[in-house]
Amino acid sequence: AQSVSQHNHHVILSEAASLELGCNYSYGGTVNLFWYVQYPGQHLQLLLKYFSGDPLVKGIKGFEAEFIKSKFSFNLRKPSVQWSDTAEYFCAPEYGNKLVFGAGTILRVKS
């Protein structure tokens, strides 16, 4: 079955803290992987993506993610979060040309 699991539903951090959001997906052969962010009241925006090649991918706003094939994981990281990173983050593997979204992680950054 095609599934994706995000480990934390709510995360609260202080500014400048480091962030790591876990994401595991079910095996489905070659899979493209995405992280999307949804700021309060806004639409989904692409943070970063992995198709092939270097398993460490860098996205916008200082975010990066590491694809670990052996663990079926694609964890999102940021060394130092800002108040403006408060949003909901969705991991989304692509299965059969459609995105399957995880349940999302709501990140709140305290200033």
Q: Which residues bind other proteins (CB under 8 A)?
A: 32, 34, 36, 42-46, 49, 51, 90, 94, 96-104
CB of 16 to other proteins, least distance (A): 28
Angstrom CA distances, 22 to 41, 42, 103, 105, 111, stand at 24, 23, 12, 9, 23
Rank residues 9 and 61 by Cβ distance to other proteins and give the closer one.
Answer: 9
Rank residues 10 and 16 by Cβ distance to other proteins and give the closer one.
Answer: 10
Rank residues 27 and 41 by Cβ distance to other proteins and give the closer one.
Answer: 41
CB of 44 to other proteins, least distance (A): 4
> For the chain, what is the largest distance between any 2 Cα atoms, rounded to a whole number of angstroms?
42
SS3 85: helix
